[in-house]
């Protein structure tokens, strides 16, 4: 899977080799210097010794020379045989005649240097390895009688130097060997560490898959190869559905476990040569080689989707997973890394829009869609800043009395070029970024201001319901912001109802519930919007501190012919928790009659009132004051 970034020998090894060579040269030079020093000191010691011998002989032969006693002079000279380095010696009279001589026995004459005064040289030739000639004057009472010349051989010194050199070479080789062993071990360790670093830098530690960086490097190389060999490849981006919920409800340990299982499942669902990587928190990427037709890309993605849409056994629970997948094929959809990734990303976005557990293939029209979204984002930002949005209000009636008890604020945007754009289109665009926070704040301020005014002017108690996105709720200061808006508008907290959707709450359970508690504590009402479309688990109801739930219109629509059991169950369950029920999307009188019978508390829909302008709803309050009776 991984590729090496250093094709040649590693720079560390090269360095170790250079260091070793340097060490060898240093050893050689220092050995040479030591040898030279040793030679010098040996030679000067030899000269000094020879001088001492010459002086001793000169002292001892002065009488013999004076009395011309050759025999005793010869005897004195003979004492030199105990001094092994003296090769020869001779005594000369002042006339330059040889008086007596000595030569070391056993040394062939030819090799012996003759002791003669002509050979005595001044001390400057210290570096030569020639034999040493020294002379001493023989004198009696200050009167010179002759001289003695001693020849010391350097043979022994050379032998000693040779030993010394052998020793130095031996020691150096030993040191070099040790250095070699140490550096090879060290470079082996360094190479190991380098490998480990490379592994860490390119691998996701949790799943062991290549990480984002490694994936992009590989993608680049494989696309290059694909372009060279004219072959196809499909990039599949995979995003786990509701991964945040797993983390929030079961903890990060369970989340990590699930990611590991998914990594294994992904690896098993493609060939060994295909590339699988974890490129982000719950995002994976797969690059598969395509043998024949382009459609193999989406077929592989669908196979992966099926492989992931199953329960995964984690240590403490079994989790039903699913994923959204976006596919883009090289070179059909894109010819370079950047556009291949971006088109797969666009396809992934479309897959998420389809709902959970979907694989979507990139289509060029999606780029148009993505561009439109980007444009909408920028224009919506501006529209919020310039107050170019407005609100409409849809009335909510109490079933039992027929009283108008509230109105849901719904945002509207009339685009200067495209005309009216549905909130189902631009709200999700805003939800993709922090833009929803600004949008939500604008809606909240406007709705609270309007509601404060209509309640004051008509002396009524009609609440306003405002839709809140999960991203808003996750803002750490959300409840403070709401309280500030209430204070600014003068609206009583009990006349503000915030509509939160179940699926959005599930996405961040702990943070959501905490914010809801704070809002409830401030007297603000909460309602669970689109109930039944999210997790549809009635048992979750207990977890949320809500006052109302709004049955989604997909459940209301088939009434009264179909779907009564589920609506009945929702109503009775909600009532048992003390939660009021609102039915939305009521379009037909028969639906209204059935809901009233089933004990539904509040209705909202085209039948009882379409979303209308502020003036429209104000008119409604006026007529409300006159007649108020049960709706059915």
- What does the binding site for ligand C2E look like in residue numbers (CB under 6 A)? 394, 410-411, 422-424, 427, 440, 443, 467, 469, 499, 529-530, 553, 584-587, 605-606, 611
Complex with ligand C2E: residue 327 or 491, whichever CB lies closer: 491
Q: How far apart are CA 411 and CA 443, in angstroms?
A: 7
Minimum CB separation of residue 436 from Ca ion in Å reads 14
Q: Which of Ca ion, ligand C2E, none has residue 187 at its interface (CB below 5 to 8 Å by kind)?
A: none
Q: How far apart are CA 140 and CA 63, in angstroms?
A: 8
Question: Could you tell me the CA-to-CA distances from 271 to 297, 302, 303, 304, 323 in Å, in that order?
Answer: 13, 15, 13, 12, 20
Burial environment of residue 57 by CB neighbours within 10 A (0 to 12, 13 to 18, 19 or more): buried
Complex with Ca ion: residue 248 or 530, whichever CB lies closer: 530
Complex with ligand C2E: residue 328 or 469, whichever CB lies closer: 469
Complex with ligand C2E: residue 69 or 587, whichever CB lies closer: 587
Output Rg (C-alpha) for the chain, integer angstroms.
52
Minimum CB separation of residue 553 from ligand C2E in Å reads 6
| Binder among 499, 502, 596, 601 for Ca ion (CB under 5 A) | 499
Q: How far apart are CA 136 and CA 443, in angstroms?
A: 123
Q: Which of Ca ion, ligand C2E, none has residue 394 at its interface (CB below 5 to 8 Å by kind)?
A: ligand C2E
Q: Which of ligand C2E, Ca ion, none has residue 4 at its interface (CB below 5 to 8 Å by kind)?
A: none
Complex with ligand C2E: residue 297 or 402, whichever CB lies closer: 402
Minimum CB separation of residue 606 from ligand C2E in Å reads 3
Q: Which stretch binds Ca ion (CB under 5 A): 76-84, 162-170, 463-471, 573-581?
A: 463-471
Q: Which of ligand C2E, Ca ion, none has residue 411 at its interface (CB below 5 to 8 Å by kind)?
A: ligand C2E
Q: How far apart are CA 563 and CA 191, in angstroms?
A: 69
Complex with Ca ion: residue 239 or 529, whichever CB lies closer: 529
Tell which residue, 574, 544, 244, 529, has the closest CA to residue 410. 529
240 and 262 Cβ atoms separated by less than 8 Å: yes
Q: Which of Ca ion, ligand C2E, none has residue 585 at its interface (CB below 5 to 8 Å by kind)?
A: ligand C2E
* CB count in 10 Å sphere of residue 456: 11
Minimum CB separation of residue 494 from Ca ion in Å reads 19
Q: Which of Ca ion, ligand C2E, none has residue 611 at its interface (CB below 5 to 8 Å by kind)?
A: ligand C2E
Complex with Ca ion: residue 131 or 499, whichever CB lies closer: 499
Tokens of residue 244, six digits: 């945040």
Complex with Ca ion: residue 154 or 467, whichever CB lies closer: 467
Minimum CB separation of residue 529 from Ca ion in Å reads 4
Minimum CB separation of residue 607 from ligand C2E in Å reads 6
Angle between helices 478-489 and 435-458 (to 10 degrees): 30
Q: Which of ligand C2E, Ca ion, none has residue 59 at its interface (CB below 5 to 8 Å by kind)?
A: none
Minimum CB separation of residue 241 from ligand C2E in Å reads 20
Q: Which of Ca ion, ligand C2E, none has residue 512 at its interface (CB below 5 to 8 Å by kind)?
A: none
Complex with ligand C2E: residue 255 or 611, whichever CB lies closer: 611
- What backbone phi and psi angles, to 5 degrees, belong to 541? -50, -40
Minimum CB separation of residue 530 from Ca ion in Å reads 4
Burial environment of residue 278 by CB neighbours within 10 A (0 to 12, 13 to 18, 19 or more): buried
Q: Which stretch binds Ca ion (CB under 5 A): 127-135, 172-180, 377-385, 523-531?
A: 523-531
H or E element in which residue 330 lies: strand 323-330
| Binder among 467, 489, 604, 608 for Ca ion (CB under 5 A) | 467
Minimum CB separation of residue 340 from ligand C2E in Å reads 34
Complex with Ca ion: residue 153 or 467, whichever CB lies closer: 467
Minimum CB separation of residue 215 from ligand C2E in Å reads 35
Strand 359-361 vs strand 323-330: parallel, antiparallel, or unpaired?
A: parallel
Complex with ligand C2E: residue 100 or 384, whichever CB lies closer: 384
Q: Which of Ca ion, ligand C2E, none has residue 424 at its interface (CB below 5 to 8 Å by kind)?
A: ligand C2E
Secondary structure class of 69 (helix, strand, coil)? coil
Q: How far apart are CA 533 and CA 121, in angstroms?
A: 118
Q: How far apart are CA 476 and CA 481, in angstroms?
A: 10
DSSP class of residue 184?
Answer: H
Stated length of the chain:
632
- What backbone phi and psi angles, to 5 degrees, belong to 523? 90, 5
Secondary structure class of 187 (helix, strand, coil)? helix
324 and 352 Cβ atoms separated by less than 8 Å: yes
Q: Which positions from 526 to 565 touch Ca ion by CB under 5 A, shown as an x/- string?
A: ---xx-----------------------------------
63 and 52 Cβ atoms separated by less than 8 Å: no
Minimum CB separation of residue 584 from Ca ion in Å reads 5
Complex with ligand C2E: residue 218 or 469, whichever CB lies closer: 469
Minimum CB separation of residue 403 from ligand C2E in Å reads 19
Minimum CB separation of residue 512 from ligand C2E in Å reads 15
Complex with Ca ion: residue 226 or 605, whichever CB lies closer: 605
Minimum CB separation of residue 369 from Ca ion in Å reads 24
393 and 614 Cβ atoms separated by less than 8 Å: yes
Complex with ligand C2E: residue 222 or 553, whichever CB lies closer: 553
For 122-173, the DSSP string reads -TT-TT--SPEEEEEEEEETTEEEEEEEEEE-SHHHHHHHHHHHHHHHHHHH
DSSP class of residue 113?
Answer: P
Minimum CB separation of residue 197 from ligand C2E in Å reads 47
Complex with ligand C2E: residue 427 or 526, whichever CB lies closer: 427
Burial environment of residue 252 by CB neighbours within 10 A (0 to 12, 13 to 18, 19 or more): exposed
Q: How far apart are CA 537 and CA 119, in angstroms?
A: 121
341 and 286 Cβ atoms separated by less than 8 Å: no
Tell which residue, 372, 385, 389, 243, has the closest CA to residue 319. 243
Q: Which of ligand C2E, Ca ion, none has residue 345 at its interface (CB below 5 to 8 Å by kind)?
A: none
87 lies in the site for Ca ion, by CB under 5 A: no
Tell which residue, 483, 489, 478, has the closest CA to residue 453. 489
Cα 357 → chain centroid: 29
DSSP class of residue 6?
Answer: -
Secondary structure class of 527 (helix, strand, coil)? strand
Q: Which of Ca ion, ligand C2E, none has residue 13 at its interface (CB below 5 to 8 Å by kind)?
A: none
Binding stretches for Ca ion (CB under 5 A) = 467, 499, 529-530
């Amino acid at each position: 899977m991984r590729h090496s970034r250093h094709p040649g020998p590693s720079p560390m090894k090269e360095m170790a080799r250079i260091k070793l060579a340097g060490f060898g040269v240093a050893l050689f030079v220092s050995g040479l210097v030591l040898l030279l020093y040793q030679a010098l000191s040996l030679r000067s010691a030899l000269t000094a010794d020879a001088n001492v011998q010459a002086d001793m002989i000169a002292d001892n032969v002065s009488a013999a020379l004076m009395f011309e006693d050759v025999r005793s002079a010869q005897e004195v000279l003979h004492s030199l045989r105990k001094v092994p380095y003296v090769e020869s010696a001779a005594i000369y009279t002042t006339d330059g005649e040889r008086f007596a001589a000595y030569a070391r026995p056993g040394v062939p004459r030819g090799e012996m240097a003759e002791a003669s005064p002509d050979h005595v040289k001044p001390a400057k030739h210290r570096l030569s390895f020639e034999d040493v000639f020294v002379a001493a004057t023989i004198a009696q009472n200050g009167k010179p009688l002759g001289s003695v010349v001693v020849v010391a051989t350097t043979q022994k010194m050379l032998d000693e130097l040779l030993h010394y050199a052998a020793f130095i070479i031996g020691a150096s080789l030993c040191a070099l060997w040790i250095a070699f062993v140490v550096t090879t071990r060290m470079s082996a360790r360094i190479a190991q560490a380098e490998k480990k670093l490379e592994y860490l830098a390119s691998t996701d530690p949790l799943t062991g898959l290549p990480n984002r960086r490694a994936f992009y490097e590989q993608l680049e190389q494989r696309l290059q190869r694909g372009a060279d060999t004219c072959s196809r490849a499909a990039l599949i981006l995979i995003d786990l559905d509701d991964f945040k919920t797993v983390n929030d409800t079961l903890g990060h340990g369970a989340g990590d476990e699930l990611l590991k299982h998914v990594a294994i499942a992904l690896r098993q669902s493609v060939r060994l040569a295909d590339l699988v990587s974890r490129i982000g928190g719950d995002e994976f990427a797969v690059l598969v080689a395509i043998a024949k037709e382009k459609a193999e890309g989406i077929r592989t993605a669908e196979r992966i989707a099926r492989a992931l849409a199953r329960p995964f056994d984690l240590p403490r629970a079994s989790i039903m997973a699913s994923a959204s997948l976006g596919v883009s094929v090289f070179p059909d959809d894109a010819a370079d890394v950047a556009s291949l990734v971006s088109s797969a990303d666009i396809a992934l976005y479309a897959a998420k829009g389809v709902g959970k557990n979907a694989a979507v293939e990139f289509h060029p029209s999606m780029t148009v869609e993505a561009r439109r979204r980007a444009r909408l984002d920028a224009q919506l930002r501006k529209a919020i800043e310039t107050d170019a949005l407005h609100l409409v209000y849809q009335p909510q009636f109490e079933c039992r009395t027929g009283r108008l008890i509230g109105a849901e604020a719904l945002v509207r945007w009339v685009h200067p070029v495209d005309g009216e754009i549905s909130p189902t289109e631009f709200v999700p665009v805003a939800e993709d970024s922090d833009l929803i926070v600004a949008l939500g704040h604008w809606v909240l301020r406007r709705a609270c201001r309007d509601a404060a005014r209509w309640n004051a002017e008509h002396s009524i108690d009609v609440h306003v319901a405002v839709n809140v996105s999960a991203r808003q709720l996750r803002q750490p200061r959300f409840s403070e912001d709401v309280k500030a808006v209430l204070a600014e508008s003068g609206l009583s907290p009990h006349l503000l109802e915030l509509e939160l959707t179940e699926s959005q709450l599930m996405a961040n359970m702990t943070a959501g519930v905490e914010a809801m508690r704070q809002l409830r504590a401030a007297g603000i009402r909460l309602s669970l919007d689109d109930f039944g479309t999210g997790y549809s688990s009635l048992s979750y109801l207990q977890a949320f501190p809500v006052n109302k739930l709004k049955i989604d219109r997909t459940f209301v629509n088939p009434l009264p012919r179909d779907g009564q059991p589920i609506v009945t169950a929702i109503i009775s369950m909600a009532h048992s928790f003390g939660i009021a029920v609102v039915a939305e999307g009521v379009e037909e009188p028969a639906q209204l009659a059935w809901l009233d019978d089933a004990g539904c508390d509040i209705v909202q829909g085209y039948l009882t009132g379409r979303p209308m302008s502020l003036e429209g709803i104000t008119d409604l309050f006026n007529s409300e004051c006159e007649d108020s009776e049960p709706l059915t």
